[in-house]
Amino acid sequence: MKVIQQIKADLNGEGSLETLNSAYDPNGTLITVIQDSDGNQLWYHQGPIDGWNRQPEDDFIAAVDFDGDNFDEVIVYNPTDNYTGVFKWAAGALHCPWASPSPIDGWNRSSDDILLPARLEAGNQEQILIYRDSDQWTGVLQWSNGLRVAWASQGPIDGFVRSPADQFVVIDIDQDGIDEAIVANSGDGWLGVLKWSAGSLHNIWASSNFNGPYGDWSLELGDVIYGRTIGNRNCVLIVRLDSDRAGIPMFALGWQNNGLVTLPPTLWPNDYPQASNSSHRGDHLLGQDVPVAPGSPGE
């Protein structure tokens, strides 16, 4: 089958990642195929999914456990019809329990939207943090009998000035069981920490440089940040890339005394976490020929 859209998600709640594929079979028919982590076919389907009329333009934009049942849902968006839907695995098949025309509570899907799963509140339900560069819009999407925008802002967030160069990383940096959003703007050198409280994101820490016990750090243009767990500690890595897009961590930062501090060099990893399309929840692969199980309809 020829994959045109694909996303990794824990669809069946077993802890491993399945792959949801939108693809063409050898006859050019649009199909929906789910594979397990070993590539074995779990489900094959032609035609609509409940009330969702499948189209090649369908974009799987995020995998998130909205309802807290340990099963990921997949947000699907069709740019032609400007519709957003939710796919969910239940009773051995993929279903579409909800769909709506855009905009949703003022959120109109943009091509430069970045969607990040985040657990911003206590409990098992996840939300989606959305940010875009074109107009510095930031929002939080949650499930409440359908997708709803719980909060949105265009421009500064509680004093932290958004810019087109921002990078967001979601990680529980203070390890209280609730995720924070780490925002880096290597254009102006600011790093900030945003935390959900009283129904909105708040800026709880920001700095443009730091003189730490294990080195002084500052952001430079082109720096990349990652969230990573090192040992038993959640960290932010600052990576400086060279012209070949390869790089090494410059610093590992952890939360201490209500702020980010440099961690001992012994905790810095000796590589940087390049994105992997084969192992990460929410990863995408496009335009690939993917084998299916022998004897299946899509063979």
Q: Where are the domains of the chain?
A: 1-102, 111-275
Question: Which tens digits make up the pLDDT trace of 90-129?
Answer: 999 999 999 999 999 999 999 899 999 999 999 899 999 9
What pLDDT is recorded for position 231?
82
Sign of CA pseudo-dihedral 80, 67, 201, 151: positive
Cα four-point dihedral sign 92, 7, 60, 64 = positive
Percentage of the chain beyond pLDDT 70 is 85
Look at strands 73-78 and 83-90 and give their pairing. Answer: antiparallel
Q: CB neighbours of 191 closer than 8 A, spacing ≥ 6?
A: 182, 183, 184, 185, 206, 207, 208, 219, 225, 236, 260
**Confidence tier at 280 by pLDDT (50, 70, 90):** low
Q: pLDDT digit string (tens) for 58-84?
A: 999 999 999 999 999 999 999 999 999
Name 91's Cβ contacts closer than 8 Å, sequence gap at least 6: none
- Across the chain, mean pLDDT equals 86
More confident residue, 190 or 46: 46
Q: What is the pTM of this model?
A: 0.86
Q: What is the DSSP letter of 132?
A: -
* pLDDT per residue as tens digits for the range 189-214: 889 999 999 999 999 999 887 766 67
Tens digits of residue pLDDT in 14-29: 999 999 999 999 999 9
Q: Quickly count helices (H) and strands (E) in the chain.
A: 0, 22
242-251 contact pairs (CB < 8 A, 24+): 247/272, 248/272, 250/217, 250/223, 251/212, 251/214, 251/215, 251/217
| pLDDT score, position 246 | 59
CA 234 to CA 255: how far, in whole Å?
8
CATH number attached to the domain at 111-275: 2.130.10.130
Span of 144-158, 187-201, 213-227, 281-295 with lowest mean pLDDT:
281-295
Residues in the chain: 299
Name the residue type at position 22: S
Where does the pLDDT of residue 248 fall: very low under 50, low under 70, confident under 90, or very high at 90 and above? low
Q: Is the pLDDT of residue 297 over 50?
A: no
